[in-house]
Amino acid sequence: MFFQHVYDKSLAQASYFIGCQQAGVAMVIDPKRDVDTYIEIAQENNLKITHVAETHIHADFLSGSRELAKLTGAKLYLSDEGGSDWQYQFPHIGLKDGDIIMLGNLKVEVIHTPGHTPESISLLLTDLPASDKPVMLFTGDFVFVGDIGRPDLLEKAAGMKGTQDIGASQMFKSIRKFTLLPDYIQVWPGHGAGSACGKALGAVPASTVGYEKIRNWALQYNDDEKGFVKYLLEDQPEPPRYFAMMKKLNKVDRPLLIEVPKLKKLSVHELKDAINKGIKVIDTRSKVDFANGFIPGTINIQGNNSFATWMGWFISYEESFILIAEEPTLEDLTRKLMRIGMDNIIGYIPDVLEWQKSGEKLERSEIVSLNEFKNIIKTNHSQIVDLRGAAEYKTGHITGTDNVFIGTLEQNLDKIKKDQQVVIHCQSGDRATIGYSILAKHGFKEIKNYSGGISEWVAEGNPIVTEVSS
């Protein structure tokens, strides 16, 4: 048997390449959209991709299943569980609980595991030449290392009222099914730490059924469904705005993108024209470089592992945009955007130097140190805004601060005061830099950024207050 774990750090998303070397065939489970990765793996190992499978209709990334099937001729194996509202709307081979897929000498059994979504399935793999006992369980967003999939995304991200309680109850029953599996089976989940598909995902890539029975909080409730549901639903992180669109695009027939696009380099004239038309410009440079000089009206979303997630919060799928990005970073950034279906990139400029050379000025961010921040607090004449998520804020925040989550800042500008100084902060500065650029874009003048954030505040021994969930 051939096996390779493919991990996208930018979305904390895992996909899997499994193959029968004797038969020369392979299956890819939950592929990302830039599918050249899997084609290269197949070529390097003399395998032909004949099967592509998904564990459920994904919300956090745009699946590459159809792109991969088109390029390789593989057949699509997708869930037909969950009822009429949860059927894929394009041709595929439908899977039901108990179905068997043969991949050469490998046997893949379908287990319906609803909860995260109604159609969710897990895939149980047996390497028949080695043993008649199953060896791996690909759980998708059902069971993670140390956590389980959240059932509230359909309601919070897609606006499907009443689904979270039903999903939580389904998840409780699915977990009971999981506990009946042998302890030795390896658990390979669809996400790791950093994903918004759960609240306490582990950092290691895999686990076992037995280990999860010991350490996973969800497997400790036994017959206490009410307590299980309460803990599962409380303090989940805010689902990114783009999740609702992902649910739609992964379900319907859509245009395919089978190669990584090459971006157009824009002139300063083209950039100015775009800005005058109201087109958003995303500066992907580091927060330090941005603070030292940025083009007025641009938004700083650093090109790091969180780039795609924050782009999904602030750019809609209907609008085009421009990147400020150094040329060596373009392919990586384009791939990250592909993975959430953001294809409307007009082009890029490599830096802000040409803007300056054309006679235009740059603005600078006003950063304050810890001591300056303390002095500002003492004056009691400034609004202090914590841009972290609600659950983070409850866990510990500075007394007297307001909480406005960065992802919804543009929808809550009325909560930011324009008639006095405003100091913003987050955990360690990245989100505060986004916030500074957004407030500056919307005409706020008296803004300061305490970039050290809660991390520095706590590390230096300063007090925080907590809010305990009832």
Give the CATH superfamily of 2-249.
Ribonuclease Z/Hydroxyacylglutathione hydrolase-like (3.60.15.10)
Predicted TM-score (pTM) of the model is: 0.94
Cβ proximity of 17 and 41 under 8 Å: yes
Q: What is the mean pLDDT of each run of 10 residues along the chain (470 residues)?
A: 97 98 98 98 98 97 98 98 94 98 98 97 97 98 97 80 90 97 98 90 96 96 93 92 93 94 97 96 97 98 96 95 98 97 97 95 97 93 96 95 97 95 97 98 96 97 84
CATH architecture of the domain with residue range 370-459: 3-Layer(aba) Sandwich (3.40)
Q: Can 2-249 and 268-345 be said to share one CATH topology?
A: no
Q: What is the pLDDT of residue 85?
A: 87
Tell me if the domain spanning 268-345 has CATH number 3.30.470.20. Answer: no
- Domain spans of the chain? 2-249, 268-345, 370-459
